[in-house]
Amino acid sequence: MSPMPPHKKKTPPVLIRPTQHGDIPALIALGNRIYPGDDPWLVEHYASHIKHFPQGQLVAIDPQTDRVVGCASTLIINWDDYEFDHNWNEFTDNGYFTNHDPEHGKTMYAADVMVDPDMQGRGVGKAIYKARFQLCRDLNLLRIRAGARLRGYSQYVDQMDAVDYVIKVIHKDIGDPTLSFQLKRGFRVIAVCENYLRHDPASLGWAAVIEWINHHVALRRDFRKRDPKYSPRKKLKPE
């Protein structure tokens, strides 16, 4: 198993609220820490997110310090306009969310989630997702989909292909820093794709396409027939 962030100590619950323009410098600093050397979002990206979908942009605030310790960036898309193997740039219009389509879309696309490295493993990500699920329910949207970049895959690339890696993470034989977290939130893997974030050295571009269904609005036909190879391992009944 790859290392799991230790649950250091119980911290008071964080406050989750919509992102404001004044949060942008803190979000840029956070992005630089989480994705060093990459091309983290700039002021114009965050400003565009707030302009197109203010409710979908969330920050986590530490109530003791009033500091931004996490965030989530989301848009609504019409899934029929996309393919499973589209990459992150295509799903987010190069990070600007100008493809946000609340008129036709029933899918919330989870473009990013970040928690301050010093605060990881304390339930901040969980609190952010709780708010994301509530937003999906409040807007009567069908589901949340995302590409979970396979952050731990580069350590296993010599041993197995990405599909086998994902199956091992689903079976809890391997822990992946992103996908294990998403699966615990109730997401299911529906596909594995290459070239999602082409220049990400940790995932080597590989991602799992994941889905969380809003049971309040879903109909039977909305539960896309899932590939059984991505099903969680069944618990054996005691004899």
Ligand X SMILES: CC(C)(COP(=O)(O)OP(=O)(O)OC[C@H]1O[C@@H](n2cnc3c(N)ncnc32)[C@H](O)[C@@H]1OP(=O)(O)O)[C@@H](O)C(=O)NCCC(=O)NCCS
Phi/psi of residue 234, each to 5°? -70, 140
For ligand X, the nearest residue by Cβ is 125
Question: Any alpha helices (H) in the chain, and if so which ranges?
Answer: 24-34, 43-52, 88-92, 124-138, 162-170, 179-184
Verify binding: residue 132, ligand X, rule CB under 6 A.
no
CB of 146 to ligand X, least distance (A): 7
Q: Within 219-238, which residues bind ligand X (CB under 6 A)?
A: none
> Please, which residues have CB within 8 angstroms of residue 160's CB and are 6 or more apart in sequence?
168
122 binds ligand X (CB under 6 A): yes
**Between residue 28 and residue 47, which ones bind ligand X under the rule CB under 6 A?**
34
Q: Which of 98, 177, 204, 217 binds ligand X (CB under 6 A)?
A: 177
Q: Are 110 and 132 in contact (CB under 8 A)?
A: yes
User: What span, in angstroms and rounded, lies between the C-alpha atoms of 214 and 141?
Assistant: 7
Binder of ligand X out of 11, 55, 79, 123 (CB under 6 A)? 123
How does DSSP assign 102-147, residue by residue?
A: TTT--EEEEEEEEE-GGGTTSSHHHHHHHHHHHHHHHTT-SEEEEE
Stretch that binds ligand X, among 76-84, 94-102, 108-116, 209-217 (CB under 6 A): 108-116
With H, G, I as helix, E, B as strand and everything else as coil, classify residue 51: helix
* 204 neighbors 153 (Cβ within 8 angstroms): yes
Under the binding rule (CB under 6 A), the answer on residue 102 touching ligand X is no
Name which of 136 and 207 has its Cβ closer to ligand X: 207
Q: Is 4 in the site for ligand X (CB under 6 A)?
A: yes
# residues contacting ligand X (CB under 6 A): 23
- Contacts of residue 37, defined as CB under 8 A and 6 or more positions apart, other chains included, come to none
Position 148 contacts ligand X (CB under 6 A): yes
Q: Which of 45, 145, 149, 188 binds ligand X (CB under 6 A)?
A: 149
Segment lying near ligand X (by CB under 6 A), choices 38-46, 78-86, 178-186, 219-227? 178-186
Q: Is residue 189 part of the contact set for ligand X (CB under 6 A)?
A: no
Please identify, among the stretches 16-24, 74-82, 146-154, 187-195, the one whose residues bind ligand X according to the rule CB under 6 A.
146-154
From the CB of 14, what's the least distance to ligand X, in Å? 9
Closest among 115, 114, 123 to 6, alpha carbons compared:
123
* Residue 107: closest CA among 129, 132, 83, 75: 75
Q: Please, what is the minimum distance in Å from the beta carbon of residue 89 to ligand X?
A: 14
Summarize as ranges the residues that interact with ligand X (CB under 6 A). 4-5, 34, 112-115, 120-126, 148-149, 151, 175, 177-178, 180-181, 184
